[in-house]
Structure 1
């Protein structure tokens, strides 16, 4: 796949997935509370960039040891378990 297509595809998926999620709501709340939207944006951006970096390189490293289809099933199961935990945690 062309690198620019990868970039745009990842941007679109992550952008849509992050709209209205807990991170965005936390950023909104912190911005209102601190009245420093630029620093809240900067801190959130750095945190999300670091988490994304770790995820991207960890995913690449894991595929050296775990077949891709197995890794996708494991990640899918983790998503399901987190969803179930989120429903019943209260």
Structure 2
């Protein structure tokens, strides 16, 4: 087992997840449900499965395209989302107004 890879992955995910909306929702569920252990088990299982899907998809994509292309595609995707959010905030981009 590659301890450096495991520890860097753990630290990256831990820091990325601290204070995000998923953690806040889990805190709310844990405090209001009266069964914090069940909330912990459910949220842990969900994060485990989401991570498994991400790793499997990443492994599949890595076998089809060079890592540099994947990094570029991810960067372009994040930039596009940022531009759309900025335009939506300014009112230059139509927001989803379906009710």
**TM-score normalised by the chain length of structure 1:** 0.84
Structure ranking higher on relative contact order (CA contacts 8 Å, 6+ apart): 1
Q: Which runs of 5+ in 1 are unaligned?
A: none
| 1:29 alignment partner in structure 2 | 28
RMSD over aligned Cα atoms: 2.1
Q: Which runs of 5+ in 2 are unaligned?
A: 90-94
**In 1, Cα distance between equivalents of 2:39 and 2:50:** 16
**In 2, Cα distance between equivalents of 1:84 and 1:28:** 32
Q: Does 1:61 align with 2:60?
A: yes
What is the CA-CA distance between 1:9 and the residue it aligns to?
0.3
| 2:92 alignment partner in structure 1 | none
Change (3 A) 1:25 1:70: same
Change (3 A) 1:43 1:82: farther
**TM-score normalised by the chain length of structure 2:** 0.77
Alignment of 1:6-85 (within 5 A): 6-83=5-82
